[in-house]
Amino acid sequence: MTSFSSHLNMARTVTSSFRRLLLAPSRPRQKLYANSSVARRKTSNVHTTKATTTAAQKVEATKAVVEEKAVEVKEAVKETAAKAEEAAKETVEKAAEKATEAAAEVKETAEKAVEKAAETVEKTAETAKTTAKKTATKAKAATTKKATAAKKTVKAKADAVKTETKKRVTRKPTKKIVLQYLGKEFDEAELTERAIAQFNSVEGGVAVKTITMYLKPEEDAAYYVINDQYTGRVDF
């Protein structure tokens, strides 16, 4: 655009100069007509002819310059238009290329976003599945633990009841032997205690493991044998 403006200004300058040259001969002609003498008229005609010839030559030269400049301007305009068209074409191509690249980037970004979203959904589902599995396992473990504890409690209670029942069934009743003879009563347990006390007073540190009592009411006495070794007597 700058080259085109320069050529256009040059053409305008040349045209202006050409116009001034065309108007230049009229001034000496008016000046010559003001002095009306025959001699001067001839001289003036000679000068006028030369001036006219010179002006015509200048006009032709200026015309040639103008035509040359016009051709140059035309070529410059043509060249500038071609360059502008080429630049516009290149700009359009670049814009189309950038648009294609932008579309490709948008497509790639969208694909990545979809892929990432799919991965996120898959991970979320897997996490939920794992969490549910862990929760179910914990719940099962807790239920099993509670069931085991309840089973142990029931078993313990059952064992306790069984043991108590067994104790009640197998426990020997308390016995008390009382010997009655000729209106007298003799308590076997009391006689046994007296026999052990007597033995301890004599033997001291010997432990009593077994004791056998022999009651003889006719003698008013009871005989004992301790640990199948020591013997003694206690009176009724």
Query: What are the boundaries of each domain within the chain?
Result: 2-104, 178-235
The angle, 0 to 180 degrees and rounded to 10, between the axes of the packed helices 2-23 and 38-170 is 170
* Mean pLDDT lowest among 38-47, 108-117, 120-129, 147-156: 38-47
Is the pLDDT at 221 greater than 80, yes or no?
yes
Pair 207, 229: CB distance under 8 Å:
no
Residues facing residue 234 across a β-bridge: 222
pLDDT of residue 52: 67
The two structure tokens encoding residue 140: 């099962």
Side chain identity at residue 55, one-letter code: A
Is the pLDDT at 13 greater than 70, yes or no?
yes
Distances in Å between the alpha carbon of 80 and those of 1, 71, 77, 91?
A: 7, 14, 5, 16
Round to whole Å and give the CA distance between 236 and 232. 13
pLDDT classification of 169: cutoffs 50, 70, 90: low
Show the 3-state SS of 54-121. Answer: HHHHHHHHHHHHHHHHHHHHHHHHHHHHHHHHHHHHHHHHHHHHHHHHHHHHHHHHHHHHHHHHHHHH
pLDDT of residue 126: 83
Round to whole Å and give the CA distance between 194 and 180. 18
What is the average pLDDT across 164-172?
60
Instruction: Select from 223, 174, 232, 165 the least CA-distant residue to 201.
Output: 232
* Mean pLDDT lowest among 146-155, 164-173, 178-187, 191-200: 164-173
Considering only residues 170 and 84, tell me which one the structure prediction assigns the higher pLDDT.
84
Is the pLDDT at 28 greater than 50, yes or no?
no
The two structure tokens encoding residue 167: 């104790």
Is the pLDDT at 22 greater than 70, yes or no?
no
pTM of the shown model:
0.29
Considering only residues 222 and 154, tell me which one the structure prediction assigns the higher pLDDT.
222
